[in-house]
Amino acid sequence: MSILAGTLGCQIGSLPFTYLGLPLGTTKPRIEDFVPLLSKVQGKLPACSTLLSYAGRVEYINSVITPTVTYAMCTFKLHKGVIQDIDRIRKQCLWRGNSERKKGGNLVAWPLVQRPKDKGGVGIKNLSLQNDALLLKQIHKFYSKADIPWVQQLWFKYYEDIVPHVHREVGSFWWKEIFRLKDLYALITTCQLGNGSSILFWHDNWAGNRLAEVFSSLV
C-alpha cells in the first residue's frame, strides 16, 4: 500500500471518508458522518436577515437552505436525527431569523407549516417526503433497466433469474434502504409488459389494475 501510494502520489486514508460532500464507506453512515453537511446548512442561516418578512423567510428556506441537502437526499435515506437537525435550522430561520437569543415565536405547528399552501400550510418542503421521492427515482432507473453501471451490476449479480420484489433483501446497505420503497413505487406506477423479468402476473399493476384484485377468486 505504501509503495502504491508513493507511486501514484496519493495519501493512505481510511473509511469512511467524504467524497463529493457525502460520507463514503462500506457501512451505513452515522449521524456524526453528516456533520459537514449540517455545518453547510448552518452556514446558510446567517445570511437570513431578521429584517426579512415571513414570506421572504419561507422563500429563503425553500430556495437556499433546503436545496443544500437535495444532493444528499438523492443518494441516501437520511437518518431521522439528521432531518430533525436540518429542520431545527429551518425553524430558526422561519421563526427567529438569524437570532439565537429570540425565544418562542412558533405561530403554528411544524407539520402544518410543511403542508402545501392549497392544503392550509405554508409550503415549506417536508424533507422526509422529499427524500423518499428523490430515492424513488433510483428505483425507477432500476426497474427500467437503465443503461447505468450500478443498475446493470445489480441485475447481473442478484436478479438475473428472479423477480426482484419477491426476493429477500440483498446487496449493500444503500440498495436495501432504497429498495424498501418498492411498495410505494408500485402504488404510483404502471408496468409496461416486456419480457416479464421484473413483473408479477397477478400482483403487479401492468393491466390498469392488479389482476389479483379483479379476479380474486382465481388467485
pLDDT score at 16: 78
Which residues, in sequence order, are CB contacts of 177 under 8 Å at separation 6+? 28, 76, 77, 135
- SS3 annotation, 89-129: HHHHHHHHCCCCCCCCCCCCCHHHHCCCHHHCCCCCCCHHH
Residue 170 has pLDDT above 60, yes or no: yes
- SS3 annotation, the chain: CHHHHHHHCCCCCCCCEEECCEEECCCCCCHHHHHHHHHHHHHCCCCCCCCCCHHHHHHHHHHHHHHHHHHHHHHCCCCHHHHHHHHHHHHHHHHHCCCCCCCCCCCCCHHHHCCCHHHCCCCCCCHHHHHHHHHHHHHHHHHCCCCCHHHHHHHHHHCCCCCHHHCCCCCCHHHHHHHCCHHHHHHCCCCCCCCCCCCCCCCCCCCCCCHHHHCHHHC
Q: Distance between CA atoms of 50 and 52, rounded to whole angstroms?
A: 5
**Tally of residues, the chain:** 219
Phi, psi of 19, deg, nearest 5: -130, 125
pLDDT: which is higher, 108 or 31? 31
Residue 53 has pLDDT above 90, yes or no: no
pLDDT: which is higher, 107 or 30? 30
List the grid coordinates of 23.
460520507
Q: Distance between CA atoms of 153 and 28, rounded to whole angstroms?
A: 20
Percent of the chain with pLDDT over 70: 92
Strands 17-19 and 22-24: antiparallel
Q: What is the pLDDT of residues 171-208, one digit of tens each?
A: 888 999 999 998 898 888 888 777 777 777 777 777 67
Q: Distance between CA atoms of 62 and 78, rounded to whole angstroms?
A: 18
pLDDT score at 161: 79
Q: What pTM does this model have?
A: 0.81
Q: What is the pLDDT of residues 116-165, one digit of tens each?
A: 888 888 889 999 999 999 999 999 999 888 999 999 999 998 888 788 88
